[in-house]
Structure 1
Amino acid sequence: MNQSEREAAKRRAGERAAEAVEDGTVVGLGSGSTAAHAIRALGREVDAGLDVEGVPTSFQAREIAVDAGIPLTTLDEADVDLAIDGADQIAGADLVKGGGGAHAREKIVDAAAGRLLVVADPTKEVDVLDDPVPVEVLPDARTPVADAVRRLGGRPDLRRADRKSGPVVSDNGNLILDCDFGAMPDPAGLAADLSALPGVVEHGLFVDFADEVYVGTETDVTVFEP
């Protein structure tokens, strides 16, 4: 699948998931390129009269939603009925997220939602998760968390910015360590270990999160419940 075919598959997945949103729904608006297609599709439905409110998971998601004309709310003001979000890797109901550095707020919103619809292209599906796990850390905790990750068998790498000198800074003002553990046959155990480390704000292992997965193909969308 070449890049243009992947982009078309992402669009199909996002637009199909947006069709699951009903009138009066509060929707968690995920981050990333595939979720962006869902947000724009929802915006077109809002223009056509659909009554929804969105809870964005990142600065990027908020900007796209505002441009699309979707009314926004917050977790303080509303309960999220369903969320639509992307993933860097999918193995059943387990995900690796955080390639865009927004996984802390994504996890908060996705966990608060009544249902999570994950949207992706076929390259994101795997049998066993093995992508590096993004770990958002308080700046002062970078070194001790990196040392602890090594003791857990991982290789931490401080995420560097492409268009500025120095590291990537998250929407929350923190740093991100991309931690390569290789294949992760027990993501739940690793997730618990990472969550227990002092200084970790959030990590990108979303264990047993996906309720429905929408995978765009070259011609259609495959939908399944893990």
Structure 2
Amino acid sequence: MLTQQQLKENVAVAAIDYVLPYLKPDTIIGIGSGSTADLFIDQLAQFKSRFKGTVSSSERSTTRLQSHGIEVFDLNDISHVPVYIDGADEIDAGLHMIKGGGGALTREKIVASVADQFVCIADESKCVDYLGAFPLPVEIIPMAREAVARQMAALGGRPKLREGFTTDNGCQILDVAGLRITDPKALEARVNNIPGVVTCGLFAIAGAGVALISTQTGVEQRKPA
């Protein structure tokens, strides 16, 4: 029986095989955040001479990339990102995701939005029939904390401030438990429209184009159902 760490390591290797055809001397790829993305970065380092560099969705990933000698560019200076690689806290059969357990959801969503293709890398424990068992992160402007919390409670959630945490954008996060998300696109649009919300951790309106899922029998490539 493979451990979760071994499953993550396997999918990081599979992700390298997936992105190798994209790695050209002028290529800049997008890199996400989290423990699985960390493993992907470590694997990517051995191929750093093949491509120009990266754009990163968090200070954590930027530090790790630079420690390997991989150049990180400002997204404002980049016109083309062919592929973005990132993990997920939950993913359903439609490749809609909850992300943001590490707090980088806004920058992850920004980098994903400019990439030609979003590739989600995850182990099988992240696969669910319905999103919501993992509390939904909602990044908020601090002055709107209680106003947003009341609206999330009205939607059936149990919002809780992530104590002692500030995002790379200087904002706060409400983690909203108790949601069973049957229409992730509609909920994403509704939550994002609440005044004071920077963005929520639903990646459904623009979900992953492909998922690499690490299982006990190997890494499976999945497309939206």
**What is the TM-score normalised by the length of structure 1?**
0.91
Q: For residues 13-66 of structure 1, what are the alpha-carbon distances to aligned partners after superposition, in whole Å with 9 as ceiling and x for unaligned?
A: 1121122222222211110001111111111111xx312311010011101101
What residue number does 2:47 align with?
Answer: 45
Q: Which residue of 2 aligns with 1:97?
A: 99
CA distance in 1, matches of 2:23, 2:111: 20
Aligned to 1:182: 179
Distance 2:45 2:52 in 1: 10
CA RMSD of aligned residues (A): 1.4
- Does the CA-based 8 Å contact 1:215-1:223 persist in structure 2? yes
In 1, distance between residues paired with 2:192 and 2:178? 15
Q: Deviations over 1:67-97 (max 9, x none)?
A: 1221111221112111000000000220000
Partner of 1:69: 69
Aligned pairs for 1:1-226 (under 5 A) are: 5-21=3-19, 22-24=22-24, 25-46=27-48, 49-78=49-78, 79-91=80-92, 92-130=94-132, 131-160=134-163, 167-207=164-204, 208-218=206-216, 220-226=218-224
Query: Matched residue pairs, number?
Result: 216
1:196 CA drift (Å): 0.7
* Identity of matched residues, %: 38
Q: Deviations over 1:96-120 (max 9, x none)?
A: 0000000000000011110011011
AA matched with 2:175: D
Query: For the residues of structure 2 that align with 1:211 and 1:139, how far apart are their CA atoms?
Result: 33
CA deviation map 1:95-150 (0-9, x unaligned)? 00000000000000011110011011110001111221100101111011111111
The answer to which of 188-197 and 22-31 deviates more is 22-31
- Write the distance in 2 (CA, Å) between the matches of 1:218 and 1:192: 35
8 Å Cα contact 1:5-1:218 kept in structure 2: no
Amino acid across the alignment from 2:109: K
